Structure 1
Amino acid sequence: MLDVESIRDDFPILGIKANGRPLVYLDNAATMQMPLPVRQALQYHYEQVNANVHRGTHYLSHESTKAYEEARETAVRFLNAPSQRNIVFSTGTTGAINTVALGLRDYVQRGDIVVATVLEHHSNFVPWQQLCLEKGAQFKVVGIDQKGDLDLDELKRVVTGGAKIVACTCCSNVLGAVTPVHDVVKIAHEAGALCLLDAAQGIRHGVLDVQELDCDFLAFSGHKLGAPTGIGVLYGKSKALELLKPAWFGGEMVDIVTTEKTTWEELPLRLEPGTPNYVGAIGLGAALGYLEFVGRKEASAYEDELIAYAVKRLSEIDGMHIYGDPIHRSGCVSFNVEGVHPFDLCTLIDKMGVALRSGNACAQPLLSALGCTAVARLSPAFYNSFEEIDAAVSTINRGALMLRN
């Protein structure tokens, strides 16, 4: 069982006041706060070890490189990846997915089928859409059922035509719908397609084992689990990563450069051009270690309890409309209150110390399917409490009443 009060001690920002009120931070699907051990790891590196990696022969460079590659090994363990060769550091989920989409620009040809779902964040939708427009391929989007779960029957029908790539989120950042990724990967592979999983939301809401999932690619961002911004991970099977043509060029990723041609380094370095965000990677390694220390399964189960409680409490508000009723909701709940614009509501409750997200959540195709253009979103982390959910719901109710009058 989680000791939430002790965990909260690692997040001093949770004790501040926002607009003169005690902060209730429930926007963790956008960015989770950073725990003290991660900040301490960053400070130690800059004060004691900092130097560019993989280049120098001096002491600091060796130590910095060691710390960087230890972070990669932590990611290997966290995902149960086969080896460090399978872990590419990126700028985040967006950077990782673009690395794959751009890297497969010769793999996808005119008339090929690339499949995404309507649940996707723009980062796992637009790159594939644009690739298909460039290559003359077919971009097909799989919908959801009435409860907000992915329509697997439609997915089977769509990929039957010979899909090359299937891109799917592990967990919707709007509905909180956890997708049956094992089934998605199996359906993709039976059709002969590569499968990429966007784990930006799913990485903190359960234990993801890439070998057990059998996915070809998986991407996630560090800032969703307490690491610095601007760092993330692209996991890929070795054969899948070998398919990727480098999309960016520069130092570190090259082997031999002559005036006639250039050859590339071995994986994963060939996909990490230039000076990497090595300090960010070290912070990511510390964040993964912190989540393991807290207990990944315990944290995920507790967050699901918070979400279920939030749905129950929000449902008590007059005029409340909660989007979706998925089989498994994790990470977030999105809603609108009749007669109140979500931007106005979230702006008002911010003055009362409650931080929620409002807008289209970078998921406009999904919101269009839901019949709206904007939502308010509540997303707790394992450091939040049931009392904070109560405070947020009370404030939301108060704000809605004020805006209606």
Structure 2
Amino acid sequence: MTVTEAVTEADRPLDLVADFPAIPAGWAYLDTAATAQKPRPVIEAITRAYGETYATVHRGVYQRSADMTLAYEAARRRVARFIGAGAESEIVFVRGATEAINLVAQCWAAVQLKPGDRILLSQLEHHSNIVPWQLAAEKTGAVIDVCPLTADGRIDLDAAERMLTPAHKLVALAHVSNVLGSVLDVRRAAALAHGVGAKLLVDGCQAVARLAVDVTALDCDFYAFSGHKLYGPTGIGVLWARAALLEAMPPYQGGGSMIDTVSFARTTYLPAPARFEAGTPHIVGALGLHAAIDYVEAIGLDRIHAHESALVAEARAALGRMNIVRLFGPADSAGIVSFAVEGVHPHDVGTILDEGRVAIRAGHHCAQPLMAALGVPATARASFGVYNGPADIAALVDGIERVARIFG
């Protein structure tokens, strides 16, 4: 057998850009951390659902409604398998990770916390994993503590271990930083939280499209993510929580679908997850998410992570050779490279790159406390997906060289 014959399909670089009709030839889309482009199977699933099989769910007695209900609940089961949930009833469909975290903040934290209780966050959290806890703390009298980062931009779990006390009731951390790409050791974070009697919520937005996630093995208590970062549609997301926690949480929205019985004297509610899904759900979004999960699992999360890790290494090496570029985050970041060009605002970097058909994110990335910790007002961020390749990195580097020429 030759060396070439010994190379398996899993070893070959991904070349999937043809699956993504919204990426024209010559356009380097490097903003997947903000939102992923959609592959044809997801687009086709959405088109078919709206154009051929659409009906409401959980209400109609006619056949198409029954069929759509089956498809909707099949999507819930697919999500449960995808993240290793113990049961499909632990999966709550929401609009996105932001709503998922707010749901926990309102229905768990605002009910369970009391004055003197503490919440531990980290310096690198997205605003969606900061502001809901501030709102809950204002309601309950709880106090928020902030865990620092290591020198290379990881959540410092050694510091967290020193900070945690029995007064801490919740720890809420990002699995993968949306700015630095640093990966949290979730199992250790769970052990530290549980060691003082606290619950652990994990923001998995940047993780589920890049890393194999098993919430049972990770031993967290809540896990949140958005469909649109997983190559699925916008407007659909997931909250996973342990069954006992969901059953003890009151609803935070009232309306159809979440009720058992209603009278003007008293209303009773259905068990989870229906209790948290008031109103007509995003039916087609759930079906699109199902298709997105099928798509990434057909490729393989390990293969996706290896592909993106190779692109990160290549990008960091190329940018690191430019003495006007400052890199942020660890060398082994998951699919994300944040950087600054000396003397040039990231918005200007992004505008000039766009002129060369390179799309990046520039700004504070909904992480202003992290920008303060880094000592910068903003960064430029290139983030990768299954459709990216070396040509995109070459275009990025060419664009930054043009930035350098323009700004002297």
Please point out which of 59, 67, 91 is paired with 1:87: 91
Pairing 1:377–2:381 present: yes
Other-structure match for 2:3: none
Question: 2:105 & 2:402 partners in 1: Cα distance?
Answer: 45
CA distance in structure 2 between the aligned counterparts of 1:175 and 1:34, rounded to whole angstroms: 24
Distance in 1 between the 2:166 and 2:191 partners? 16
Answer yes or no: is the 8 Å Cα contact 1:103–1:243 preserved in 2. no
SS at match of 2:161: helix
The CA deviation at 1:168 is: 0.6
Deviation at residue 159 of structure 1 after TM alignment: 1.7
Distance in 1, Cα, partners of 2:136 & 2:366: 19
Taking the TM superposition and a 5 Å limit, the aligned residue runs for 1:212-251 are 212-251=217-256
In structure 2, what is the Cα distance between the partners aligned to 1:106 and 1:274?
A: 23
Aligned: 1:391 with 2:399: no
Partner of 1:45: 49
Aligned to 2:18: 9
The 1:5–1:303 alpha-carbon spacing in structure 2 relative to 1, beyond 3 Å, is closer
Letter in 2 for 1:147: D
Q: Determine the C-alpha separation between the residues in 2 that align with 1:7 and 1:266.
A: 42
Instruction: Find the counterpart in structure 1 of residue 7 from structure 2.
Output: none
CA distance in 1, matches of 2:210, 2:377: 26
Structure 2 counterpart of 1:198, from 200, 203, 220: 203
Contact 2:340–2:379 under 8 Å retained in 1: yes
Aligned residue in 1 for 2:123? 118
Check the 8 A contact 2:122/2:147 in 1, yes or no: yes
The ranges of structure 1 where at least 4 consecutive aligned residues each deviate by more than 3 angstroms after the TM superposition are 2-6
Q: Partner letter of residue 390 of structure 1?
A: A
Aligned-pair CA distance for 1:9: 1.5
**Equivalent-residue separation in structure 2 for 1:32 and 1:216 (angstroms):** 27
Quick one: which amino acid aligns to residue 364 of structure 1? Q
* Cα pair 2:14 2:307 within 8 Å, conserved: no
In 1, Cα distance between equivalents of 2:371 and 2:47: 41
Instruction: Return the TM-score normalized by structure 2.
Output: 0.95
Q: 358, 362, 368: which is aligned to 1:358?
A: 362
Q: Are residue 157 (structure 1) and residue 166 (structure 2) matched?
A: no
Letter in 1 for 2:278: P
- Equivalent in the alignment of 2:6: none
- Structure 2: distance between partners of 1:324 and 1:32: 21
Alignment of 1:208-287 (within 5 A): 208-287=213-292
**Which consecutive unaligned segments of at least 5 residues does structure 2 have?**
1-9
Gaps of 5+ in 1: 17-21
Of 344, 347, 367, the match for 1:340: 344
Q: 1:143: which partner in 2?
A: 148
Q: Distance in 2 between matches of 1:170 and 1:41?
A: 29
Q: What does residue range 88-103 of structure 1 map to in structure 2 within 5 Å?
A: 88-103=92-107
Q: How many pairs are equivalent? A: 398
| Aligned residue number for residue 184 of structure 2 | 179
Is the deviation greater in 254-263 or in 316-325? Answer: 316-325
Cα deviation code 1:322-344 (max 9, x no counterpart): 11236x41121111011111101
2: CA distance between counterparts of 1:180 and 1:401?
A: 41
Q: How far apart in 2 are the matches of 1:61 and 1:371?
A: 55
Question: Take 1:3 and 1:253, find their aligned partners in 2: how far apart are those partners?
Answer: 47
- Tell me if the contact between 1:4 and 1:382 (Cα under 8 Å) persists in the aligned partners: no
* Contact 2:258–2:276 (CA under 8 A) maintained in structure 1: yes
Note the C-alpha offset of 1:198.
Answer: 0.3
**Alpha-carbon displacement from aligned partner over 1:53-98 (angstroms, at most 9, x marks no partner):** 0011001110110110111111011011111101000100001101
Code of the residue aligned with 1:394 in structure 2: it is D
The answer to whether the 8 A contact 1:4-1:384 is kept is no
Identity of aligned residues (%): 42
Q: Indicate if the aligned counterparts of 2:181 and 2:330 stay in contact, CA closer than 8 A.
A: no
What is the distance in 2 between the residues matched to 1:23 and 1:187? 44
Q: Report the AA paired with residue 9 of structure 1.
A: A
- 1 CA distance for matches of 2:337 and 2:136? 31
